[in-house]
Amino acid sequence: MNCVRSVSYLDDRIAGDLPPGAAAELDEHLEGCAQCRAALEELRLLKRALADLPAPRPGPDVLERMLQAATRSAPPARRSRAWPGWRVGLATAAVLLLAIGFILGRRFATYRAPAPQIVLLARPITVGPSVTDITLVFRASDAVRKANISLKLPDDVQIAGRPNVRRLNWRADLKSGANLLQLPLQATGAYDGGTLVVRLSQGSLVKTLEIPVAVRQAPNTGAVRTPQRSTQAIG
């Protein structure tokens, strides 16, 4: 499977609509293709953001007034056939069942799951004057909503096209499993390495990862200066 075909399958893959053969083929491709994996994550992110688009919530009184206005305006055309008495009974029973379902749902919703486990992963980074895409992996045991993620760049390293950005903070939802973050990094004028600090927090959960960053001096020399500080993982 090539990337063009893989990308056309991603919607179905998220919806769980892919036939088993195609799913296996796609999985095999995803295994070996970081770009398509990232495209899948991007699509998931987009779909989560779409599902979160806000809408006004009218109060129950507004909705109730609408119902009253509708039933006041005109009697139903086929009154006796459309709404016979036994159907009224059924409708009441259905509403009662819905209410029970709602209460049960609420009860389950308040069940507190154990705190999710999160592991941050990255390769040690080597950057040069040209842009290098690096990948960070956030592996979560469960979905985490509205996690705060921050990045602090070492001196002499920038996000491509963003010379003034030294720190980056945003909020994101993590899904259960591997969540990928790709960053285009590039070394600036001075040649010294350092540490890229990634921090994830949500409530009392805090994870920090310090990734050593080495700077390649120039495209032709191949010389690499390793960072002064040693790697330290803080969990």
Partner 1 sequence: MRHSRMAADAFAELLRPHLPALHRLAYRFTGREADAEDLVQECLTRLYARGERLMDIDILRPWLARALYNLHVDRSRSLRRTPFGHLHQPGGQAHEEQIGEIRPDPAADPDLVLETDRLRGHLAQAVEQLPEDQRLVVLLHDVEGYELREAASILGIPVGTAKSRLHRAHGRLRERLRQRNLMPANIVSENDCPAEPSDLTGFVQS
Residues 6 or more apart whose Cβ sits within 8 Å of residue 112? none
Question: Binding partner 1 by CB under 8 A: which of 18, 26, 120, 144?
Answer: 120
Among positions 22, 116, 124, 132, the unique one binding partner 1 when judged by CB under 8 A: 124
Q: Which is nearer to partner 1, 206 or 218 (CB)?
A: 206
Verify binding: residue 113, partner 1, rule CB under 8 A.
no
Q: Tell which positions 148-187 bind partner 1, by CB under 8 A.
A: 161-172, 179-184
Under 8 Å CB-to-CB from 41, ≥6 apart: which residues?
179, 180
Kind and range of the H or E run holding 6: helix 3-15
- Where in 199-228 is the site for partner 1 (CB under 8 A)? 207-209, 211-212
Restricting to residues 25-84, which ones interact with partner 1 according to CB under 8 A? 29, 31-39, 41-43, 45-47, 49-58, 62-64, 66-83
- CB 146, min distance to partner 1, A: 8
Measured distance CA(84)–CA(87) in Å, rounded: 5
Rule CB under 8 A: say whether 106 interacts with partner 1: no
**Which tokens go with 172?**
């994101």
CB 19 within 8 A of CB 25: no
> CA 117 to CA 141: how far, in whole Å?
5
Does 133 engage in binding with partner 1 (CB under 8 A)?
yes
Which of 119, 218 has the CB closer to partner 1? 119
Contact 136, 122 (CB under 8 A): yes
Q: Which residues within the stretch 1-20 sit at the binding site for partner 1 (CB under 8 A)? A: 2-4, 6-8, 11-12, 15, 17
Number of residues that bind partner 1 (CB under 8 A): 102
